[in-house]
Amino acid sequence: MGQTIALPGVRLAPQSKTLILAISTTCHFCKDSEPFYQQLAARNRGPIKIVAVLPQPLAEARTYVQKFIAPSVEVVSSPLDSIGVRGTPTVLLVDGNGKVQQAWVGKLSDQGQQQVQSLLM
């Protein structure tokens, strides 16, 4: 935590936060977490933007996210190590300057899911 990341093509609003889902189409823990990600996208009514970052080519990444998570989630194709992520799934909360505020690594427990969901209320 505390590192600053940059996502090509993603505009971070200075006064808001972004939830980054670092996932992969080939990760079975990501697949298991799809219902949770769907809930996040469905419940997100607040000022937090949700962005999915995948290492796959953009067309493949976009198809995966639209089909299995939600069409409303912004998609970026980028090597995960470019945002400091070593394993999937990882969820990052970043501020408007790209500074990581919180990180959750791996398939989240019920408590971890509740922590992330509380950000969207």
Domain range list for the chain: 18-119
Block residue for tokens 């996210």: 65
In order of 4, 42, 56, 82, 89, the CA distances from 99 in angstroms are 4, 25, 24, 14, 19
Give the CATH number of domain 18-119.
Answer: 3.40.30.10
The reported pLDDT for the residue numbered 1 is 59
Residue 82 backbone class (left: φ over 0; alpha: ψ -120 to 50; beta: rest): alpha
What string of pLDDT tens digits covers the 121 residues of the chain? 578 888 877 888 777 889 999 999 999 999 999 999 999 999 887 678 899 999 999 999 999 999 999 999 999 999 999 899 999 999 999 998 899 999 999 999 999 999 998 887 6
The pLDDT, as a whole number, for residue 103 is 94
